[in-house]
Structure 1
Amino acid sequence: MIGTFWALVPAIVAIALALLTKEVYSSLFIGIIIGAIFYAIDTAAGFPGFFNHLFNDGMISQLSDSWNVGIIIFLVVLGVMVAMMNKAGGSAAFGDWAKKHIKSKAGAQVATIFLGILIFIDDYFNCLTVGSVMKPVTTKYGVSKEKLAYIIDATAAPVCIIAPISSWAAAVSGFASEGENGILLFCKAIPFNFYAILTLAMLFILVFMNFEYGTMEKFETAFEASKVTSDFEDESGGNGKVIDLVLPIAALIVLCVTGIIYTGGFFTKTTLGDDGAIFANETYLNFIEAFAGANASFGLVIGSFAALIITIIFYIFRRVISFKSIMQSIPDGFKAMVPAILILTLAWTLKAMTDSLGAKDYVAGIVEGSASGFKMFLPAIIFVIAVGLAFATGTSWGTFGILIPICIAIFAPGNPLRIISISACMAGAVCGDHCSPISDTTIMASAGAQCDHVNHVSTQLPYALSVAAISFLTYIISGFTQRLGLVASGIISWTFGFSALFSFLIFMKKRSLRKQK
């Protein structure tokens, strides 16, 4: 079973059960058990090997991984900060400000989209920050939790994958090195990342055309009909001002970015020159170099803890919340993040099962075997395979690590297909990550919007698949037009992509209006 299609079965079963039963915890655990059974059968380990692989190699190993522990700590600290901001009245004050400046449902959605675009440093940070800041505003103007979760998810990974200064750019540059500058190759691939850019375009078009389709339409209609009131004043102490929300969020953003570049060596002198040189030059890394070598998980922990301490001191100085209430926010914030932490733990364990079964090697073999005979179709093929791999494993970065080195090996530097295929890999990985119920980004988008996870997956799936289909066709166009050069190919491809997206949405709106009549 190792290194064959069976390696993908545990993830496929978990995803299918989650979508069918609407219950994610048991679905993930069943997938994990299937993976452990397959591994025990293939290695003839028996019952002792099954339990050892399930718990020791799986769950315990994932929970003791330093990267994963860092993400969990960051989640807890952010939950504590959100609880403190609510108790201090910062959310209520921001709601009063929003009443004067945001006048409509469309305005609330556009503000959420822009905030999501502005926080391009890291997808985890994006998901939870945007949700905590914008949920009161979107609730007031009749935006459902499901729509908020979609906006958060659609401005997290898609924004990070086209931002040269982000944790995603740093990850990709590690897999895609052209000479010594992987960031350069990443930047060249940005214009051909059709899925990410079309997803952002779709967000704005849906807002201004004022319609939804698929499962999202049902949730939006039901939410508006229920006339849910604003939760701006929940748990408010009454003394809060906008600064009580803005300053903690601003401190979180600045300090998390600082923490990330700190882990990359931005503030540490690096010795340049030959090993053993007596007069070696010492200098500081620039911002991009530090980002490329950073440990985003550790950086987020440092930054979030620093922001938490500053927020506590600020609130005590302002006397908007008692010290006792601040301490009570710690368990409250932790409890709010328990569902997300549990799902993340199970998703990481399921990924460990598929990795141990050789899912990556199986997919890599498929790509290498199909590359030689379909050169012009390769970007589209890479896109589809990346979607499938990221969907089944719930990870974009793992997909990058498998497919990008293959793309670099197939095409020599200077070949336009090299850039387009790497873009297709990144776009497909983001798309699969976007669709997958076991993706950590999808889980955090649900947590940020305080939305039922399965509802979030089922409502955003039609939107993500629509853009994926258009992106697939656009990669076919770019594969055949690359002979004209990257600029000409880009112009032709984008003309087709935007035209197809706009035409599709016009068709869906007319269909929706006919349905309403």
Structure 2
Amino acid sequence: MGLIPPLIAILLAFFSRSVFIALAMAVIVGEFIIADFHPLNTLLLTFERFYLLLSEGWVLKTLAFAIMVGSVMVLIERSGGVNGLVHELSVKRSIVKTKRGALMPSFIAGIIVFIESSITSLVAGAIGRPFCDRHGISRAKLAFVCDSTSAPVCSLIPLNGWGALLLGLIGGQISAGLIAGESATWLIQSIAYNFYAFMALIVTFIAIWYEIDIGPMRHATVHPPEIECEDAKGDIGLFLWPMVWMIGGVILFMFITGNGDIFKGSGSTSIFYTLLITLLLMLGYYRFKNTLTLSEFWDASLSGARSMSPIALILLFAFAIGGVSSDMEVGQYLASFIGDYLPSAYLAGAIFVLAAIIAFATGTSWGTFSIMLPIAIPLAVGLDAPVALAMGAAISGGVFGDHCSPISDTTIISAMASGCSVQEHTRTQLPYALIAAGFSFILFILFGVLLT
């Protein structure tokens, strides 16, 4: 029964035109099951679910982040920052001339900005949108690049909240006496076996470099470029400075909220205060440059906020379905399929598949890590299998499942940052993700055989 709500959400998201309806139906059905099919109790539980969510500081900050992102993007566009970026890279420096060149800046930004996955997608999307429209590349392909570099890179360079979570989970297994050593040492070893993250980056680079569109990506919507005046050169500083403030702000607040330790910083708090301060700095800077009046700044901010309000609502329901899945112990139910009868050589491959299913069904990689690492490590120890390989498989599976899930917050934010629908983004990126996952699965089986 626990699989019914996430399955409803995934199927409706794939085959309907409304992710919101898919998530809402899944939440209601899940609460109906939890309430033992009692209509009145279902209503009360649903109300309580959203009341508790909206009482959580991190939820409110994440929703505010989604809305403020819209304001930042519209302000950059109306101020002339987008025109300045296009003119600088396409005309002045002649760097972006082809379809390949149009996506490479986003790919590079996705790798460099590894401090927080949401900021990674935002920056990569903001950089790529004008170039994709200009060179006839679909926003869906840009969303694929944003999504394929955000979570994978954050899991490979864990100087962020991802690293903090993984270090904590590994430390719990060390404290329990299952493994010996330092958490950081084990994490570094597991990164070497995070095959899906590596394969996702390789597949993405190949798709960009050779301009490969497969499956639904061949039919993705291409947005026509905006008509510009001959002298619409803009000012690249109007684009770059907000990007610098956002990246630098997240790093600063991760240190502050972590009391000097970036691994312990709060991602939701960091991005909230970063966006808030960025908007204030943009107000001062844009007035100093005399690019927008106070009235124009306010109108652009409200316009951007309104455009992102539906996305914020979808994120809220995505958090709700995650809570329903947790209450129904979907992850634990799926994890019960792995037992002591599994040959140790195939353990890593099985962990990868199971973690992917859990992440896909629940829409959360972090939740999957929290479920699977405490299972994968004891299994590897008990079966005398490579522990670091099992860790890498759990992390890879979580990233892959989250990458593909239409109810994942990273999927939703990547679509938002790129300006395409969640449905189109999910359908078009799935073939690429499956290719990367297929190679990853082969590597987990191969290394499992070689190292056992």
Alignment partner of 1:192 is 2:193: yes
Alignment partner of 1:65 is 2:56: yes
In the alignment, what sits opposite 2:75?
A: 84
Superposed, which structure 2 residues align to 1:384-423 within 5 Å? Answer: 384-412=353-381, 417-423=386-392
Superposed, which structure 2 residues align to 1:122-271 within 5 Å? Answer: 122-177=116-171, 178=174, 181-219=182-220, 223=222, 229-231=224-226, 233=228, 240-266=234-260
In the alignment, what sits opposite 1:497?
A: none
Q: Which amino acid aligns with 1:138?
A: C
Question: 1:262 offset after TM fit, Å?
Answer: 0.7
Question: Take 1:237 and 1:125, find their aligned partners in 2: how far apart are those partners?
Answer: 31
Question: Take 1:344 and 1:237, find their aligned partners in 2: how far apart are those partners?
Answer: 40
In the alignment, what sits opposite 2:24?
A: 29
Please point out which of 331, 338, 344 is paired with 2:302: 331
Question: Take 2:181 and 2:288, find their aligned partners in 1: how far apart are those partners?
Answer: 49
In structure 1, the gaps of 5 or more residues are 1-5, 267-289, 484-517
Q: Could you tell me the TM-score, scaled by structure 1's length?
A: 0.81
Q: Point out the more displaced range, 453-462 or 295-304.
A: 295-304
Question: 1:239 offset after TM fit, Å?
Answer: 7.9
Q: Point out the more displaced range, 58-67 or 398-407.
A: 58-67
Please point out which of 408, 411, 432 is paired with 1:463: 432
Question: Take 1:165 and 1:144, find their aligned partners in 2: how far apart are those partners?
Answer: 32
Question: 1:416 offset after TM fit, Å?
Answer: 6.2
Alignment partner of 1:18 is 2:9: no
Question: Take 1:14 and 1:20, find their aligned partners in 2: how far apart are those partners?
Answer: 10
Question: Take 2:206 and 2:63, find their aligned partners in 1: how far apart are those partners?
Answer: 35
Q: Which amino acid aligns with 2:414?
A: A
Q: Which amino acid aligns with 1:401?
A: S
Superposed, which structure 2 residues align to 1:304-319 within 5 Å? Answer: 304-319=275-290
Residue aligned with 1:154, SS: helix
Residue aligned with 1:427, SS: helix
Question: 1:240 offset after TM fit, Å?
Answer: 3.6
Q: Which amino acid aligns with 1:38?
A: I
Q: Point out the more displaced range, 329-338 or 243-252.
A: 329-338
Question: 1:204 offset after TM fit, Å?
Answer: 1.5
Whether the 8 Å contact between 2:365 and 2:399 is mirrored in structure 1 is yes
Question: Take 1:237 and 1:53, find their aligned partners in 2: how far apart are those partners?
Answer: 58
In the alignment, what sits opposite 1:276?
A: none
Q: Which amino acid aligns with 1:345?
A: L
Question: 1:112 offset after TM fit, Å?
Answer: 1.4
In the alignment, what sits opposite 1:287?
A: none
Question: Take 1:35 and 1:428, find their aligned partners in 2: how far apart are those partners?
Answer: 25
In the alignment, what sits opposite 1:433?
A: 402
Q: Could you tell me the TM-score, scaled by structure 2's length?
A: 0.93
Q: Point out the more displaced range, 9-18 or 305-314.
A: 305-314
Alignment partner of 1:93 is 2:84: yes
Residue aligned with 2:136, SS: coil
**Over residues 195-239 of structure 1, what are the superposed CA-to-partner deviations in whole Å (9 max), with x where a residue is unaligned?**
1101101112122323221111222xx63xxxx5423749x9968
Whether the 8 Å contact between 1:14 and 1:31 is mirrored in structure 2 is yes
Question: 1:402 offset after TM fit, Å?
Answer: 0.6
Question: 1:23 offset after TM fit, Å?
Answer: 2.4
Residue aligned with 1:156, SS: helix
Question: 1:427 offset after TM fit, Å?
Answer: 0.4
**Over residues 177-210 of structure 1, what are the superposed CA-to-partner deviations in whole Å (9 max), with x where a residue is unaligned?**
2568433322111111111101101112122323
**Over residues 348-395 of structure 1, what are the superposed CA-to-partner deviations in whole Å (9 max), with x where a residue is unaligned?**
11111111212233233333xx24532111100000000000000000
Residue aligned with 1:159, SS: helix
Whether the 8 Å contact between 1:130 and 1:152 is mirrored in structure 2 is yes
Alignment partner of 1:364 is 2:335: yes
Whether the 8 Å contact between 1:91 and 1:233 is mirrored in structure 2 is no
Superposed, which structure 2 residues align to 1:482-497 within 5 Å? Answer: 482-483=451-452
**Over residues 422-472 of structure 1, what are the superposed CA-to-partner deviations in whole Å (9 max), with x where a residue is unaligned?**
100000001000110000000011101110110111111111112112211
Whether the 8 Å contact between 1:12 and 1:392 is mirrored in structure 2 is yes
In the alignment, what sits opposite 2:177?
A: none
Whether the 8 Å contact between 1:172 and 1:186 is mirrored in structure 2 is yes
Whether the 8 Å contact between 1:161 and 1:168 is mirrored in structure 2 is yes
| 1:371 to 1:258, Cα distance in 2 relative to 1, 3 A | farther
Question: Take 1:303 and 1:428, find their aligned partners in 2: how far apart are those partners?
Answer: 31
| 1:52 to 1:376, Cα distance in 2 relative to 1, 3 A | same
Please point out which of 95, 105, 124 is paired with 2:99: 105
Question: 1:76 offset after TM fit, Å?
Answer: 2.0
In the alignment, what sits opposite 1:278?
A: none
Question: 1:59 offset after TM fit, Å?
Answer: 2.2
Question: 1:31 offset after TM fit, Å?
Answer: 1.0
Question: 1:334 offset after TM fit, Å?
Answer: 1.0
Question: Take 1:329 and 1:358, find their aligned partners in 2: how far apart are those partners?
Answer: 44
Whether the 8 Å contact between 1:261 and 1:291 is mirrored in structure 2 is yes
| 1:77 to 1:50, Cα distance in 2 relative to 1, 3 A | same
Whether the 8 Å contact between 2:258 and 2:266 is mirrored in structure 1 is yes
Query: How many pairs does the alignment contain?
Result: 442
Q: Point out the more displaced range, 104-113 or 15-24.
A: 15-24
Provide the identity percentage.
28
Question: Take 2:342 and 2:326, find their aligned partners in 1: how far apart are those partners?
Answer: 28
Whether the 8 Å contact between 2:161 and 2:264 is mirrored in structure 1 is no
Whether the 8 Å contact between 1:67 and 1:298 is mirrored in structure 2 is yes
